[in-house]
């Protein structure tokens, strides 16, 4: 079967323009870019105008040259922070898994959903797993509540209004007032517990992980309700909070 490939010429041209400008110490104008990259002036003008509107490029009003803006810096900083967090949190996560015997996840708030950044699998024969890169709904389970609790109030209201509360199981909270009361409780106690609210037969404990100005993050432990009973949940709460403190010390944000 022939492999289908897709090409986006405008995106490729935009990156060529960005690379050219980034390598020019005093910036480049539309004519310079057109000549250097052999791209029509009208195309260069359209792309640079769009990139300027997005803050990716900055145009000098006198010399009419473009230099790099701050939007890319913000993207790079966010991406770097995720990589740094993943690398530095790995050993504490492995130790946490060893102590609690359940799968440990690390994730970040990504728009209006949660993205798993890393995972340390339980050694149990029966275990909960989900690969890095998996997207989870923000308004579901312990992880969602922990990350939702870290959002700015106006943004949180906007997301709640836009997404609404979906019933995943018979235990899912779908009343807005009750949900917001639970969010307030999460903020106060510093953790959240999911008692089969997202997946039947599965429980979880999550704790927020603040690290500077980077996207809100969370650490959570997931296991089957049959192995993650009430007494063990209390133990996991203590262990996960200690692990969060350990990671924050490593990151220098404690």
Q: Could you tell me the pLDDT band of residue 253, with boundaries at 50, 70 and 90?
A: low
Write down the residue that tokens 């900055």 correspond to. Answer: 58
How far apart are alpha carbons 59 and 32 in whole angstroms?
14
Give the domains, in start order, of the chain with CATH numbers.
9-69 (1.10.10.10), 78-251 (3.30.450.40)
Output the six-digit token pair for 208. 């927020």
Pull the structure tokens for residue 130. Answer: 């989900």
pLDDT band, residue 1 (cuts 50/70/90): very low
Q: Which helix (H) or strand (E) holds 164?
A: none
Strand partners, 116: 107
6: phi then psi, degrees, rounded to nearest 5: -120, 145
- DSSP codes, 168-203: -STT----HHHHHHHHHHHHHHS-EEEESSSSTTEE
Q: Which helix (H) or strand (E) holds 51?
A: helix 41-53
Residues 65-98 have pLDDT tens digits of 999 887 776 676 666 666 678 888 999 999 999 9
164-184 confidence digits (pLDDT tens): 899 999 999 999 989 999 999
Give 105: exposed, middle or buried? Use CB within 10 Å, 0-12, 13-18, 19+.
Answer: buried
Cα 57 from Cα 48, distance rounded (Å): 7
pLDDT tens profile 10-59: 899 999 999 999 988 889 999 999 999 999 999 999 999 999 998 899 88
Q: How far apart are CA 94 and CA 82, in angstroms?
A: 18
Under DSSP, the state recorded for 204 is E
For residue range 209-237, list pLDDT tens digits in order: 875 546 789 999 999 999 999 999 999 99
The pLDDT of residue 99 is 97
Residue 167, both tokens: 């019933």
Q: What pLDDT was estimated at residue 5?
A: 56
Residue 158 is predicted with a pLDDT of: 84
CA distance 120 to 220: 11
Question: What DSSP state is assigned to residue 69?
Answer: -
First to last CA, the chain: 54
Cα–Cα distance measured from residue 188 to residue 155, given in angstroms and rounded to the nearest whole number: 20
In this prediction, residue 63 carries a pLDDT of: 84
């Amino acid at each position: 079967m022939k492999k289908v490939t897709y090409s986006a010429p405008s995106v490729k041209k935009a990156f060529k323009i960005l690379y050219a400008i980034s390598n020019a110490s005093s910036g480049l104008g539309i004519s310079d870019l057109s000549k250097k990259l052999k791209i029509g002036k009208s195309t260069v003008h359209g792309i640079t105008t769009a990139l300027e509107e997005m803050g990716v490029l900055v145009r000098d009003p006198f010399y009419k040259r473009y230099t790099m803006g701050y939007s890319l810096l913000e993207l790079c900083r966010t991406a770097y922070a995720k990589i740094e967090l993943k690398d530095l949190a790995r050993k504490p996560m492995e130790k946490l898994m060893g102590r609690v015997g359940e799968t440990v996840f690390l994730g970040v708030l990504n728009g209006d959903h949660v993205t798993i950044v890393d995972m340390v699998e339980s050694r149990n024969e029966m275990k909960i797993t989900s690969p890095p890169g998996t997207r989870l709904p923000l308004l579901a389970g312990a992880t969602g509540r922990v990350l939702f609790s870290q959002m700015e109030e106006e943004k949180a209201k906007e997301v709640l209004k836009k997404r609404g509360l979906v019933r995943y199981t018979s235990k899912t909270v779908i009343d807005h007032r009750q949900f917001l009361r639970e969010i307030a409780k999460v903020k106060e106690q510093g953790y959240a517990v999911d008692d089969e609210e997202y997946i039947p037969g599965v429980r979880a404990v999550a704790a927020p992980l603040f690290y500077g100005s980077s996207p809100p993050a969370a650490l959570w432990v997931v296991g089957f309700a049959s192995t993650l009973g009430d007494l063990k949940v209390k133990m996991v709460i203590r262990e996960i909070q200690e692990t969060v403190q350990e990671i924050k010390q490593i990151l220098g944000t404690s």
